């Protein structure tokens, strides 16, 4: 099992609500701004895309790279964060 960041653990620990996109693990200020400019301003909007892509890791990582330029680590952190949140709450 890979270790997770405090940001990841905090996100997965509770319902998403209206959390900003930057609350997602792997998404900092720069990527968060790029995502918000494309309409993905809240974590739940990114979750919607994650679900539209049927929780497929490769498709989601490619999408995240294309939409905001996330690197491999950022893609993996964000994917893992959303996957673990879905496992806990869906």
Q: What percent of the chain has pLDDT over 70?
A: 98
Question: Which segments of 1-90 does DSSP mark as H helices, in order?
Answer: 6-12, 29-37, 43-52, 57-68, 72-89
Task: Domain ranges for the chain, please list them.
Answer: 6-89
Q: How many residues comprise the chain?
A: 90
Cα separation of 71 and 10, whole Å? 22
Q: Could you tell me the pLDDT band of residue 1, with boundaries at 50, 70 and 90?
A: very low
Q: What is the architecture of the domain spanning 6-89?
A: Orthogonal Bundle (1.10)
Cα separation of 49 and 40, whole Å? 9
pTM exceeding 0.85: yes
Per the CB < 8 A criterion, the answer to whether 26 and 74 are in contact is yes
């Amino acid at each position: 099992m890979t270790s997770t960041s405090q940001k990841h653990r905090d996100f997965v620990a509770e319902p998403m609500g209206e959390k900003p996109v930057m609350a997602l693990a792997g998404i900092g200020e720069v990527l968060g701004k790029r995502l918000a400019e494309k309409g993905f301003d809240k974590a739940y909007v990114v979750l919607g895309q994650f679900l539209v892509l049927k929780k497929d890791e490769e498709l989601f990582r490619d999408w995240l790279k294309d939409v905001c330029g996330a690197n491999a680590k950022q893609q993996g952190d964000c994917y893992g964060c959303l996957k673990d949140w879905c496992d806990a709450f869906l």
